[in-house]
Structure 1
């Protein structure tokens, strides 16, 4: 049986430490994918650096993830590309993205973009809290329990 690979769309990911700790407890070494702009000598775990082009990290993940793998991202376009291929996706808020929900999620994103282009103000993301970290950690642990066992 092939071991699960956990990929992280890491450039703006606020839960890198949680991922590293939780994945490690399951014997999984996460693969953090980020642009060269995020390079640091002090990073633990496995890091893959890609160009700074807008979709470079997404393309790396799409080209390297296989059915049964897990991806952490807040990019719903990337989630849409992965879920139909048997790859589990979880958001930084601990929401598992299911294939059947992707069209609705992408449609809402499209409507928000249209509103923004029309000059309407839209709310930005709320600040990421300790409660959000706990919700993500709990959801990631549950998901890994299901995928690994």
Structure 2
């Protein structure tokens, strides 16, 4: 049975993921180290993990496997989940697979190195847009159908 895991800290698409999970009658695990209002939806389980670096990531990576879907912007977590056979989506709808997660990890490391080398480098990524939200919904629907085949 498919499960949906959401790395919920700073995830802008929790509500959208819940709607899709409900439509497909799939259990959704919203994992964070606290501070989130639990959903009243019986298919949504709020998992609060202890504070600490990557504790939520480890909880997800230890459970997500073949047939499951993980929503995260965390590339190292995505790499572990892909390795375990799970389908991984970023909140902007980008799918991470065995074919591209290595490149994403390398790019993340490169950008981290560039930021640490230039203390005056400002800014982050692009702001989250309506188009990103729409792409995410389409991608999650597609992944959910593929996982349930």
Q: CA deviation at 1:47?
A: 0.4
- Asked if 2 retains the 8 angstrom alpha-carbon contact of 1:67 and 1:85, the reply is yes
Q: CA deviation at 1:43?
A: 2.8
Q: Which runs of 5+ in 1 are unaligned?
A: none
CA distance, structure 1, for counterparts of residue 140 and residue 27 of structure 2? 14
Q: TM-score, with normalisation over the residues of structure 2?
A: 0.91
Alignment of 1:44-83 (within 5 A): 44=40, 45-83=44-82
Q: CA deviation at 1:116?
A: 0.8
| 2:139 paired residue number | 139
CA distance, structure 1, for counterparts of residue 97 and residue 86 of structure 2? 10
Q: Match of 2:99, SS?
A: helix
- Asked if 1 retains the 8 angstrom alpha-carbon contact of 2:31 and 2:48, the reply is yes
Q: TM-score, with normalisation over the residues of structure 1?
A: 0.91
Q: Deviation string for 1:34-75 (max 9, x for gaps)?
A: 112x243x5332100001212010010011222221100000
Equivalent in 7, 21, 24 of residue 23 of structure 1 = 21
Q: Which runs of 5+ in 2 are unaligned?
A: none
Q: Match of 1:7, SS?
A: strand
Give every structure 1 segment of 4 or more consecutive aligned residues whose post-TM-superposition deviation is greater than 4 Å. Answer: none
Equivalent in 4, 18, 26 of residue 2 of structure 2 = 4
CA distance, structure 2, for counterparts of residue 63 and residue 106 of structure 1? 19
Q: CA deviation at 1:122?
A: 5.5
Superposed CA RMSD in Å reads 1.4
CA distance, structure 1, for counterparts of residue 65 and residue 107 of structure 2? 27
